């Protein structure tokens, strides 16, 4: 039997890209991609600046909140489409629940 068994201590940690959470890194990565597609150095620099600023804003927004704050915010503010709708929960436009 192997003695160097790894036992994870935190199973519910949010996904990470490097040191950053996915919801913080996603705006910057998306902006880098759009800047790369634009084809000029100036537009890449502008997209990179906007992406970094947006990522900093998201990280400050979720600073003292639940770790899944971004997912909860998206659930309540995106429209209910077949991709975002769940069967066990009411649509996001129904704000008042009984029970």
- In a domain? residue 7: no
Using CB atoms within 10 Å of the CB of residue 87, give its burial: 0 to 12 exposed, 13 to 18 middle, 19+ buried: exposed
Residue 20: in which H helix or E strand, if any? strand 20-21
- In a domain? residue 45: yes
| Between residues 2 and 16, the one the model is more confident about | 16
Structural domain total, the chain: 1
**48-59: pLDDT as tens digits:** 999 999 999 988
Q: What is the pTM of this model?
A: 0.62
- In a domain? residue 22: yes
- In a domain? residue 90: no
- In a domain? residue 51: yes
**80-97: pLDDT as tens digits:** 666 655 666 666 676 665
Residue numbers of the domain that contains 49: 18-63
DSSP three-state, residue 17: strand
- In a domain? residue 96: no
Contacts of 38 (CB under 8 A, 6+ apart): 44, 47
- In a domain? residue 44: yes
pLDDT at 36 over 90: yes
- In a domain? residue 36: yes
């Amino acid at each position: 039997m192997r003695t160097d068994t790894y036992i994870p201590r935190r199973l519910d940690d949010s996904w990470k890209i490097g040191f950053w959470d996915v919801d913080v890194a996603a705006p910057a990565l998306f902006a880098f991609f759009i800047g790369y597609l634009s084809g000029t150095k100036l537009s890449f620099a502008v997209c990179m600046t906007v992406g970094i600023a947006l990522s900093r804003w998201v990280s400050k927004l979720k600073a003292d909140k639940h770790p899944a704050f971004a997912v909860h915010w998206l659930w309540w503010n995106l429209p209910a489409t077949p991709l975002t709708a769940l069967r066990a929960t009411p649509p996001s436009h129904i704000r008042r629940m009984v029970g």
